Amino acid sequence: MQAIDPEVEKKLLVKEYRNLLKALRPNLEPGEKKEIREAFALAMEAHSGMRRKSGESYIFHPLAVANICAKEIGLGKTAIICALLHDVVEDTDVTLEDIEIKFGSKVANIIDGLTKIAGVVGKTNSIQAENFRKILLTLADDVRVILIKLADRLHNMRTLEAMGRNNQLKIASETLVLFAPLAHRLGLYSIKNELEDLSLKYTEPIVYKEITQKLQQSKIQRNKYIRKFIEPIQESLSELNFQYEIKSRPKSIYSIYSKMKKQDIPFEEVYDLFAIRIIVDSGPENEKSDCWRVYSIITDYYKPNPERLRDWISVPKGNGYESLHTTVMGQQGKWVEVQIRSRRMDDIAEKGYAAHWKYKGDEISGTDTNLEEWIKRIRELLENPESNAIDFMDDFKLNLFSDEVFIFTPKGDLITLPAMATALDFAFDIHTMVGTHCLGAKVNHRLVPLSYKLKNGDQVEIITSKKQKPTEDWLNYVVTAKAKSRIKASLKDEKRKIAQEGKDYLIKKFKNADFGWNNANIQRLVHYFKLRTSIELYFNLGVGAIDRSEVGIALKFFELSDKLGRGQTSKKPDAPINGKKPVLKAPDIVIVGDDTDLNYTFAKCCNAIPGDDIFGFVTISDGIKIHRTNCPNGIRLMSNYGYRIIRAKWSTDQIKEIRTFPAGVKLVGIDSIGIVSNITDIISKELQVNIQSITVSSIAGAFEGSIILYIYDLEHLEKLIEKIKEIKGIESVSRFQVEETVTGEEP
């Protein structure tokens, strides 16, 4: 924490407050400035003496959040007051009642939605998940809750450098999993991009730095190309007396990283590094036709790709986004994305739903059809009392990032669903009972399976039967959160009935065997059958997965064990408890937290090697697992179970003498005689590295290979990669994740 001059801090505070008033001035009504000043004064007094990790006075945080709400989202007076006071109830002696008396019930309700959960939640649920669910409960009444929360998260991400590494990973992962998709769904694209970029900065710092540097290095060349590309378009637009603005923007760092990862290509092969945006000043009656006229001008000079035309002007996205997108072939054979929109459409694209209210002349009306539809779906999810917070988040996230398809009912009503939605999704969207009893579907008057993926313009009719009910397979047929949650709820009801039958049988069996019906004995039986919970035991008995005669054998075994004085022996002879081997510690490889004596194992989903950025995760039954921070499961674990993350680092004591670690290397090159022999010679003879497996395929003169080998640490691996790159004919060498499990590990 660095010392800050009080006079300098005071001047900076005054400056930030004036910037806030300046941003609000065009929309402030008489008397509203006084209310904002009172809120600022209350926040100043409440947070007096408090400082952030960075060392600055705490009041700078709510003031920064208020500025983001005003400048970057475009919210009005009520939201700004809430932003200034969003932490006072949680962190100070100010109560909700105090706020309601001074500023009214609306402000108090919004701040209540923003106040974090206090105390400890259930052991199986994440604190972050429960907090997120509470926010959404209030969101169903007032969307400003989530807009202010996004502003709060954005400022926290901008100042995350002051936090410890552990907290950086937790907050960045949660941001990537939840808050960036929420910003996207609400149409706040610039905030969404910044949240993703900042998350990448802390989860993958090396990759972030490399992409940033390469973007900077190519900036001059890129700008030169853009000027040449837009020159003829500008001339034509000016000749036709268009009032317009042309912007160019580089793709976000995270989107470039995602493309590199998805297509397995280096930065140099990502060609669409920027997009051109043309914004025309048109009145509401002409904006659609003007956008198409601009499209016509562009295609006079550049040939469009017909498969990359996106018309979100005629049918806007569910989050209100309106724009015309096309991809054209520019100079030097480069594809260029061009976005065409009116000034109103651009405001909506930048500020999401907040801009809708601006054009409706109402700060918050809540009457936007798309917004109401989305909030209605949130309410439906929240109405399910059975789901825990983690399941809720998984269901909710399903549709945040998805594109959309537009479907018609038999009567011609338009329904919007996520891309890849099926006929069964459509049935549940109509009504829960229609989905639950869905027997089949007709699309465009033809019978289709329930798993049929809907396409734009399809007309769907659902066939139902009262005898029909959901099965486990149905979860594979749907993508919407509503359908998944309703199917899970129905299956739980069915499972509960079956489990009750199994429990009734077990009570009777215990009674006949004169064996005590208590929790300790039930748990002995759970362990005996290598299950996790009593519910699983009852259900397996109910469906016949456990032979009922085995129960009698188990009870006799327990009785014999007790007579022999073994007490609570609850495992079969010579069988490990839960069917798992004891957790063994790999000595002196990793230091978990500040303790060198804690037991741990390496997670097989990512196989960390010395030098990788790692963290420890406390599992329920397997002790501490060590994961790479960029593990496929890492982001999920850090965001959903942040309170179970433990700092971990590699020990520096003789790591190389202790053990080797599996690592994967992918090779791409030109096929030639002896190239595989050259590769294996480098690996096994020159570098003396053991190979676990090698796979090579050759097609039309090109080859791809993957090798899994045992190395000491990251430095060792990088040296090996550099050596292989020197072999003639090798085009690229990269590390790939060695995964020994298909699905995520049990947390």
The domain that holds 80 is classified in CATH as 1.10.3210.10
Given 146, 162, 178, which residue is the final one in a domain?
Answer: 162
Percent with pLDDT over 90 in the chain: 23
For the record, the structure tokens of 534 come out as 């009593």
Instruction: Answer whether residue 297 shows pLDDT above 60.
Output: yes
Which ranges of 204-342 does DSSP label H, i.e. alpha helix? 205-217, 219-239, 253-263, 287-301
**What pLDDT does residue 138 have?**
53
pTM for this model (two decimals): 0.63
**Distance of alpha carbon 74 from alpha carbon 365, whole angstroms:** 15
In a domain, 343, yes or no: yes
Residue ending a domain, among 162, 180, 196, is: 162
Q: Are residues 388 and 413 in the same domain?
A: yes
pLDDT at position 76, please? Answer: 85
- State the CATH number of the domain containing residue 231: 3.30.460.10
Of the chain, the percentage scoring pLDDT greater than 70 comes to 81
In this structure, the answer to whether residues 147 and 233 fall within a common structural domain is no
Active site residue 91: yes
pLDDT band of 664, cuts 50, 70, 90: confident
Mean pLDDT of 75-93: 89
Write down the pLDDT at residue 379.
60
Establish if 395 belongs to a structural domain: yes
CATH number at residue 704: 3.30.70.260
Q: 323 lies in which domain range? A: 212-360
Say how far apart CA 169 and CA 615 lie, in whole Å: 9
Integer angstrom CA distances of residue 573 from 516, 524, 548, 569: 22, 13, 20, 9
DSSP secondary structure of 151-220: HHHHHHHHTGGGS-HHHHHHHHHHIIIIIHHHHHHTT-HHHHHHHHHHHHHHHSHHHHHHHHHHHHHTHH
Q: With contact defined as beta carbons under 8 Å apart, do 424 and 440 qualify?
A: no
Sort residue 173 into left (φ over 0), alpha (ψ -120 to 50) or beta. Answer: alpha
Distance between alpha carbon 646 and the CA centroid of its chain, in Å?
A: 21
Domain boundary at 144, 162, 180, which? 162
- 334/410 same-domain check: no
Q: Return d(Cα 743, Cα 746) in angstroms, integer.
A: 9
Q: Both 347 and 388 in a single domain?
A: no
Q: Return all residues near 359 (Cβ < 8 A) that are at least 6 apart.
A: 344, 347, 348
Does residue 187 register a pLDDT over 90? no
| 12/156 same-domain check | yes
**380 and 347 part of one domain:** no
Please list, in sequence order, all residues whose beta carbon lies within 8 angstroms of the beta carbon of residue 476, skipping any fewer than 6 positions away. 451
The amino acid present at 30, given as its one-letter code, is P
Does 547 qualify as catalytic in the annotation? no
Regarding whether 428 and 291 lie in a shared domain, the answer is: no
How many domains in the chain?
Answer: 4
User: What are the phi and psi torsion angles at 257 (to 5°)?
Assistant: -60, -45
pLDDT at 263: 83
344 and 307, same structural domain? yes
pLDDT bin (cut points 50, 70, 90) of residue 119 is very low
Catalytic residue among 9, 32, 38, 91: 91
Domain assignment of residue 151, yes or no: yes
| Structure confidence by residue, pLDDT tens digits, 406-456 | 888 888 777 888 888 999 999 998 998 999 999 999 998 889 999 999 988
In 3D space, the residue among 389, 398, 396 whose CA is nearest the CA of residue 643 turns out to be: 389
pLDDT in tens, 316-374: 876 678 899 999 998 888 889 999 999 988 888 877 655 555 554 444 444 445 556 65
Residues 94 and 224 in one domain: no
Q: How far apart are CA 73 and CA 148, in angstroms?
A: 9
Give me the pLDDT at residue 303, please.
Answer: 92
Q: What pLDDT, on the 0 to 100 scale, is given for residue 234?
A: 94
Residue 703: predicted pLDDT: 81
Range in 152-161, 641-650, 722-731 the model is least confident about: 641-650
Catalytic hit among 90, 383, 681, 726:
90
Beta bridge partners of 327: 337
441 and 308 share one domain: no
Tell me the DSSP string of 533-600.
Answer: -HHHHHHHHHHTSS-HHHHHHHHHHHHHHHHTT--S--S-TT--GGG-PPP---TTTEEETTBSS--E
Q: Which of 484, 446, 488 is nearest to 463 (CA)?
A: 446
Residue 340 counted as domain residue = yes
Q: How many CB atoms lie within 10 A of CB 176?
A: 21
